[in-house]
């Protein structure tokens, strides 16, 4: 072995004798030296040891080890746990994640002939796993909150191990953790600390023996080996599970996909075709969006009187006239009865001050627009890019839609509830029959057809598979500018209250006998000529009563000034 290999053997105490103590090995002293060392990168699964309710039929490798070598250990593992023994025994409410990075095989030469140790057998490690581990203390009983913690740990491990990218990385780093410790018992309070610790493990900056894969007794009379994995501190109250199974069906892990697929960080632009995501992100996440269960079914029947409301992105009832900074477009009138069957699984909160904030670029563009010569028009352009409204909450699950233009159905509509919750398919069938829509096919989010008899199967498929979830509802829409800070909102509100003042300016008039002036806008800031002009002639900051001003020939490109009762002036006059 070279010097670096010898140092590694000494550091990990691979040349030490091992004495069994309470489901752990305690290194005694060096009993072998030199020999052969083999290092392999660990590429197998990460393992988690989680609590089980009933340990009566559970047997771990330590039991087999004790029986095989007739180990005498009078210490009860639970007693050591209560006495807070220094041996890292895992409490029955704790979880242990082992994170191996190396598999090391070592075989050395005895320094002196081995001797039996009184009341204990002594062993040598032939193969070990090296890396680090995490302990989660007092496992959370809140299923969703515990899934959130598991997702954060999995994200950190995947990034450190495979350098995987995550859309929520900046938000994840800011997240807080509870009851998580490293192998030295140091608390890990946040994701930044966890990421640093995992990076140290995968960059081989810190290492410890976390598993004994093969051990042999020192005494030659017992030359048979034990090849089952021995994890220090694991009791019969824990079972092994891979990280893949540990995070299986964890809905928090789907968040990065949902954010990208449905553009949760974008606001919505109101167009003649309905709502479409803005071209630029309006939000930056400060923390991972919160999730709460909904698991509720609903049926909504409504008459859509504006064609833009009939779109893939569901809009309930929205007052188009109340939305500010809209680019003018024609809204086609329609009388369509739309039936939506909702199945909500979870509600995801997108906008709260502790969860997200306006993107830096959005804030910059809005401030630039407010400082423009025509702030209203500039803001209209900004919101046309980023969006006019933003959804604070999004319901994921499924939605089925059907529509009809049946006149008889429209006549009955006013006699029917607009929204009902339902638990039985019969409620839907009876209600649709009233509207002569019971033979209609429904359209899913991905544009596939479902008839009424297929709804129960559709519900079951969605409930058991989060990968099938799609946008079901966006019930809470607010104007995008409402998420800005108070000062910027105040400026926008002032602009809206006085939006008839689109621009101001001064035109210099000479003292010659000119009666007509044309004012041209620098660029076409207006979309029509529906505006008013107010002005007067001033000189030395005082209004001249002897002159009368008229404004004519208005267009989107400018207007004309006509001076009446014009008299020759010796000084420059300004308007």
Which pLDDT band holds residue 134 (cuts at 50, 70, 90)? very high
* Dihedral sign of CA atoms 194, 197, 200, 201 in order: negative
244 vs 169, higher pLDDT: 244
Q: 75-84, 405-414, 418-427: which has the minimum mean pLDDT?
A: 75-84
pLDDT, tens digit (0-9, with 9 covering 90-100), for 491-520 = 999 888 865 566 667 777 765 566 778 888
Higher pLDDT, 57 or 99: 99
Q: What is the pLDDT of residues 365-421, one digit of tens each?
A: 999 999 988 898 899 999 999 999 999 999 999 988 887 765 555 554 444 445 667
Cβ neighbour number for residue 43 with a 10 Å cutoff: 8
What's the rounded mean pLDDT across residues 338-345? 86
Domain ranges of the chain: 3-248, 252-496, 508-574
- Confirm if 130 and 207 have CB atoms less than 8 A apart: yes
- Residue 419, pLDDT score: 65
Distance of CA 18 to the CA centre of its chain: 46
pTM exceeds cut of 0.85: no
Summarize the confidence of residues 4-9 as an average pLDDT: 93
The average pLDDT across 56-80 equals 70
What φ, ψ does residue 496 adopt, rounded to 5°?
-65, -35
Tell me what pLDDT residue 314 has: 56
> How high is the pLDDT of residue 522?
67
Whole-angstrom Cα distance, residue 359 to residue 484?
A: 10
The pLDDT value given to residue 165? 67
d(CA 252, CA 451): 32
Which range in 106-110, 268-272, 360-364 is most confidently predicted, on average pLDDT?
A: 360-364
Cα angle: 322, vertex 325, 328; to 5 degrees:
90
Residue whose token pair is 């090296």: 130
Question: DSSP assignment of 395-445, as one string?
Answer: EEEEEEEEEE--HHHHHHHTTS-SEEE-SSHHHHHHHHHHTT-TTPPEE-T
């Amino acid at each position: 072995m070279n010097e670096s290999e010898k140092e590694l053997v000494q550091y990990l105490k691979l040349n030490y004798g091992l004495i069994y103590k309470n489901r752990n090995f305690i290194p005694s002293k060096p009993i072998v030296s030199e020999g052969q060392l083999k290092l392999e990168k660990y590429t197998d699964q990460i393992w988690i040891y989680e609590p089980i309710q009933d340990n009566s039929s559970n047997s771990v490798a330590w039991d087999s080890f004790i029986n095989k070598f007739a180990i005498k250990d009078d210490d009860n593992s639970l007693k050591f746990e209560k006495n807070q023994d220094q041996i890292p025994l895992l409490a029955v409410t704790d979880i242990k994640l082992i994170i191996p990075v190396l598999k090391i095989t070592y075989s050395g030469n005895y320094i002196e002939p081995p001797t039996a140790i009184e009341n204990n057998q002594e062993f040598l490690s032939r193969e070990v796993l090296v890396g680090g581990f995490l302990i989660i203390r007092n496992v959370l009983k809140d299923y969703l909150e515990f899934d959130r913690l598991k997702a954060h740990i999995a994200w950190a491990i995947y990034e450190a191990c495979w350098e995987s990218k995550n859309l929520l990385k900046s938000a994840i780093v800011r997240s807080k953790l509870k009851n998580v410790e490293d192998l030295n018992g140091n608390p890990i309070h946040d994701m930044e600390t966890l990421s640093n610790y995992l990076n140290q493990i995968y960059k081989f900056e810190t290492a410890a023996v976390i598993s004994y894969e093969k051990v042999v007794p020192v005494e030659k009379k017992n030359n048979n080996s034990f090849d089952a994995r021995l994890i220090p501190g694991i009791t019969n109250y824990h079972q092994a599970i891979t990280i893949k199974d540990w995070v299986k069906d964890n809905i928090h892990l789907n968040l990065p996909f949902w954010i990208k697929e449905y553009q949760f960080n974008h606001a919505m632009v109101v167009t003649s075709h309905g709502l479409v995501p803005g071209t630029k992100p309006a939000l930056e996440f400060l923390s991972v969006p919160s999730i709460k269960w909904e698991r509720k079914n609903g049926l909504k029947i409504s008459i859509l009187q504006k064609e833009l409301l009939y779109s893939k992105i569901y809009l309930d009832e929205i007052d188009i006239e109340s939305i500010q900074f809209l680019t003018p477009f024609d809204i086609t009138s329609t009388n369509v009865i739309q039936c939506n069957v909702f199945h909500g699984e979870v509600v995801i909160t997108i906008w709260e001050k502790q969860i997200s904030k306006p993107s830096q670029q959005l804030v910059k563009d809005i401030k630039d627009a407010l400082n423009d010569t025509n702030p209203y028009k500039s803001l209209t352009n900004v919101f046309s890019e980023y969006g006019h409204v933003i959804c604070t909450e999004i319901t994921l699950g499924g939605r089925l839609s059907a529509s009809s233009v049946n006149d008889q159905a429209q006549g009955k509509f006013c006699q029917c509830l607009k929204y009902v919750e339902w638990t039985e398919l019969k409620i839907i069938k009876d209600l649709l029959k009233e509207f002569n829509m019971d033979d209609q096919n429904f359209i899913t989010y991905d544009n596939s057809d479902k008839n009424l008899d297929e709804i129960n199967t559709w519900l079951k498929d969605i409930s058991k598979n989060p990968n099938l979830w799609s946008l079901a509802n966006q019930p809470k829409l607010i104007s995008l500018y409402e998420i800005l800070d108070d000062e910027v909102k105040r400026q926008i509100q002032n602009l809206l209250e006085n939006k008839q003042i689109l621009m101001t300016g001064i035109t210099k008039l000479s003292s010659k006998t000119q009666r007509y002036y044309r004012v041209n806008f620098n660029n076409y800031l207006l979309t029509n000529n529906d505006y008013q002009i107010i002005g007067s002639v001033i000189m030395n900051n005082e209004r001249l009563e002897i002159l009368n001003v008229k404004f004519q020939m208005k267009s989107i490109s400018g207007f004309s000034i006509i001076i009446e009762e014009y008299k020759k002036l010796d000084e420059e006059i300004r308007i």
